[in-house]
Amino acid sequence: MSETPILTLENVSKRFIRRLDAAEKLVNVFGADRREQVVHAVDDVSIAVKQGEVVGLVGESGCGKSTLGRVVAGIHAPSEGRLLWRGQDVESASAELQRDARLKVQMIFQDPMSSLNPRMRVRDIVGEAPRVHGLVSGAGVKDYVDDMLLRVGLDPSFRDRYPHQFSGGQRQRVGIARALAVKPEFLVCDESVAALDVSIQAQVLNLFMDLRTDLGLTYLFISHDLGVVEHLSDRVVIMYLGRVVETAPTDELFREANHPYTKALLAEVPRIDTRKRKFQPVKGEIPSPLDPPPGCHFHPRCPFAFERCKREAPALKEIAPGRHSACHLNDGG
Amino acid sequence: MAVTDAGKTSPIEAAPLPAPPAEAPLKRFLSDFADSRLALGAALLLAAIMIVAFLAPVIAPQDPYDLATVSVLDARLPPGTENFAGYTHWLGTDGAGRDLLSAILYGLRISISVGLASGVIALFVGMAVGLVAAYVGGRTEGLIMRVVDLQLSFPAVLVALILLAILGKGIDKIVIALVVAQWAYYARTVRASALVERRREYVEAAQSLGLSHARIIFRHILPNCLAPLIVVGTVQTAHAIALEATLSFLGVGLPQTEPSLGLLIANGFEYMISGKYWISVFPGLALLLTIVSINMVGDQLRDVLNPRLQK
């Protein structure tokens, strides 16, 4: 890996803290035991994404993958750790550089209805940011918006419509046009096709891949749908309760997963050759992120768990070139 | 997996929806509003009241402030009496000999102006404060909302009375007092809807597009919070008019030289017992009609603008 990664996360954590209010502080004085509630949505995650790569981020709901995506897109600031854009720390950069780096990373959201402002016309939704940032002159906005709409496969005559006048797939395309309008190099897709019909999903996924070749985009593709991730990604990152448990090139991961959690996930992907068997969800519930189990977060559900798993959190170690896994089993027990 | 097998998509999705004409939302709003005959009548009445009030200097038979035309000899004439100049006072005259119809028209003008001015200013103040509270959150929000709670726990009349006792009389002072007494309603209303809106993904999208906070608050969140604000605005304006009348009636509102409806009612109050009812009753009726029609318009607006109440 000689070239600088386009985007690097270094030991990034994101905590959400619900502080005590005055009444709770008061009852504590009288001996009640109210504590601050802390959710480690993202816990010490390091990822490097290379230029032009598509990284799939997979996990159950509530594992922190959306939060991680928002940290990458600059919507949430990390509680700890650093976000590097082309090797440069975003937080300590000058305001101008910071703004540019933020604009280079754009997000495509899950719900195409709530991600578009219902009171704005498409031409304002798409054209506002480039005009504010001076990417295009006031007179050129209309043509610019038309270009963007064409690029995502929408008829430019739609520019005067409101979001509610579109179908789900069209709305998602408007959201993509809005992101593309600030000339990003990196797209974070947060469950971007989960809310769409399967046939529309395919169209939107193909659009993503066309844009990748046309514009040289890099993707962080967040999904719980392993089929979609297998189809799109060069590399897969598996998250469980805020931590990365395994990362590997896609084909290797799907051929031979290392981490017990990944194995459990992969066993449940519907396939033609497994269609006769009954599907079993991964045993047990995902634990509450308010009170994660000690040691390895996965040990209460892991069929191979042993004593050490309850005490010590496994580190993410390189198990083969380009492959990392966080499991004590790799240390030979 | 359907995804892997799906072919290349055609660039333009089929079947674009027929684009409805641009004025459709307004048209639908108007026809929804006219569903209630009562509300439509109230709206027309309100429009009529506003027009005659603001045209008072043109259409009033007498200028009640012009001492040259007002004669004490005409004082307390009952409705329909002809005065010495051969002119008929349809609603009678008050204790100073002013034509009551003219006084009511001028009074309405003052009452409505004060109500609208304080309503609009309170709306902008409350809106800005409520939006900032909802957007910033945390300690700032806690502080602002506690002030709002404190303010709302006092009756509005009491707050306004205390303020006017300090400030003194005058139109500007009563507007200030009404704004202080009412901004909190707007702040609470707008905060409630802004709290919902700011969690929407379009706000996150705007943040990731690098738009400024002011732009996100006023261009993105605010337009989505307007409907409840309009409803509260109409009802609170009626409230402001009533409050101003109350204060003037109590003698702490407007000076005698600028009589609003409340002051007219107060002036006639002393003659009620001697049977000269018209000096108080007619200004009272004018006030009643104004407030009731604004409230009915407000109620209908709430029904029309609230999607949950729509069939």
Please state the separation of Cα A40 from the chain's center in Å: 16
Which of A270-274, B115-119, B248-252, B254-258 is predicted with the least confidence, judged by mean pLDDT? A270-274
Partners of A179 on chain B (C-beta within 8 Å) are 205
User: How far from A19 is each of A38, B141, B253, CA to CA, in Å?
Assistant: 9, 14, 46
How far does Cα B286 stand from its chain's mean position?
16
Look at residue B11 and tell me if it is in a domain. Answer: no
- What phi, psi does A218 have (nearest 5°)? -110, 145
A243-249 vs A235-240, strand pairing mode: antiparallel
Task: Look at B224 and A118 and tell me if their CB atoms are within 8 Å.
Answer: yes
Burial class of A3 by CB neighbour count within 10 A (0 to 12, 13 to 18, 19+) = exposed
Residue B7 lies in a domain: no
Cα A326 to Cα A14, A30, A60, A331, B112, distances in angstroms: 20, 44, 17, 10, 72
Does A225 or A173 have the greater pLDDT score? A173
Chain B residue with minimal CA distance to A271? B1
Mean pLDDT of chain B: 84
What total number of domains does chain B contain?
1
Average confidence score pLDDT of chain A: 87
B-chain residues within 8 Å CB-CB of A155? 12, 16
Strand partners, A85: A7, A88
Structure tokens at B276: 């000269």
* pLDDT at site A281: 60
Indicate the range of A171-175, A248-252, A324-328, B86-90 predicted with least confidence.
B86-90
- Between chains, do B6 and A153 touch, taking CB under 8 Å as contact? no
Question: Which residues 85-114 of B have a C-beta within 8 angstroms of A?
Answer: none
Does residue B193 form part of some domain? yes
Count of CB atoms within 10 A of residue A31's CB? 6
Q: Does B19 touch chain A (CB under 8 A)?
A: yes
For residue B142, the distance in angstroms to the closest alpha carbon of chain A comes to: 10
Nearest CA to CA, how far is B299 from chain A (Å)? 24
Q: How far is B24 from chain A (nearest CA, A)?
A: 12
SS (H, E, C) A98-154: HHHHHHHEEEECCCCCCCCCCCCCHHHHHHHHHHHCCCCCCCCHHHHHHHHHHHCCC
How do residues A53-64 score in pLDDT, each as one tens digit? 999 999 888 788
pLDDT given at position A276: 60
Query: Per-residue confidence at B7, pLDDT binned at 50, 70, 90?
Result: very low
**Which chain A residues touch B4 with a CB distance below 8 Å?**
227, 231
Residue B74 within a domain:
no
Q: How far is A228 from chain B (nearest CA, A)?
A: 7
Distance CA A220, CA A191 (A): 11
pLDDT tens digit sequence for A308-318: 888 888 988 88
User: Going by DSSP bridges, is the β-strand pair A54-58/A218-223 parallel, antiparallel, or unpaired?
Assistant: parallel
At residue B121, does pLDDT exceed 80?
Answer: yes
Residue B183, in any domain of the structure: yes
Predicted local confidence at residue A145, as pLDDT: 95
pLDDT band (50, 70, 90) for residue A274: low
DSSP B217: I
Q: Is residue B3 part of a domain?
A: no
Q: Print the domain residue range for B231.
A: 37-56+89-306
Count of pairs with CB atoms under 8 A, one residue in A, one in B: 110
Q: Which long-range contacts (CB under 8 A, 24 or more apart) does A301-310 make?
A: A301/A261, A301/A264, A302/A260, A302/A261, A303/A260, A304/A260, A304/A329, A306/A333
pLDDT at B22 over 60: no
pLDDT tens string A154-171 = 999 999 999 988 998 999
Strand order in the sheet with A186-190: A105-108, A186-190, A218-223, A54-58, A235-240, A243-249, A323-325, A317-320
Residue B228 pLDDT grade (very low, low, confident, very high; cuts 50, 70, 90): confident
Domains of chain A listed by start with CATH number: 7-331 (3.40.50.300)
Of B3, B8, B13, the CB nearest to A227: B3
Facing residues of A89 across strands?
A84
B98-to-B33, B59, B106 alpha-carbon distances in Å: 40, 15, 12
- Is pLDDT of A279 > 60? no
User: Does the beta-carbon distance from B17 to A206 stay under 8 Å?
Assistant: no
**Residue B168 to residues A6, A136, A240, B157, B266, Cα–Cα distance (Å):** 67, 55, 67, 15, 19
pLDDT in tens, A14-33: 988 887 777 888 888 888 78
Share of chain B above pLDDT 70, in %: 89
B1: which chain A residues are within 8 Å (Cβ-Cβ)?
227, 231, 270
How many residues in chain B? 311
CB contact under 8 A, A133 and B207: no
Asked if B273 reaches chain A (Cβ–Cβ under 8 Å), the answer is no
Backbone φ and ψ for A72, nearest 5 degrees, come out as: -60, -40
Residue A199 has pLDDT above 50, yes or no: yes
Query: Residue B194: is its pLDDT beyond 70?
Result: yes
Distance CA A77, CA B227 (A): 33
Residue B247 has pLDDT above 70, yes or no: yes
CATH number of the CATH domain containing B181: 1.10.3720.10
Q: Is residue B203 part of a domain?
A: yes
**Is residue B1, in this structure, part of any structural domain at all?**
no
Is the pLDDT at B211 greater than 80, yes or no? Answer: yes
CB spacing of A203 vs B11 below 8 angstroms: no
Query: Which one of B9, B17, B208 makes the best mutation probe of the A interface by having the most chain A beta carbons within 10 Å?
Result: B208
In contact, A42 and A14? CB cutoff 8 Å: yes
Does residue B113 have a pLDDT over 90?
yes
B204 interface with A at CB cutoff 8 Å: yes
Asked if the Cβ–Cβ distance from A153 to B210 is below 8 Å, we say no
Q: Which two tokens stand for residue A156?
A: 């430019």
Kind plus residue range of the DSSP H or E element containing B232: helix B226-249
Would the CA dihedral through B86, B90, B93, B99 be positive or negative? Answer: negative
pLDDT tens by residue, B62-71: 787 777 777 7
Q: What is the pLDDT of residues B130-183, one digit of tens each?
A: 999 999 988 899 999 999 999 999 998 999 999 999 998 888 999 999 999 999
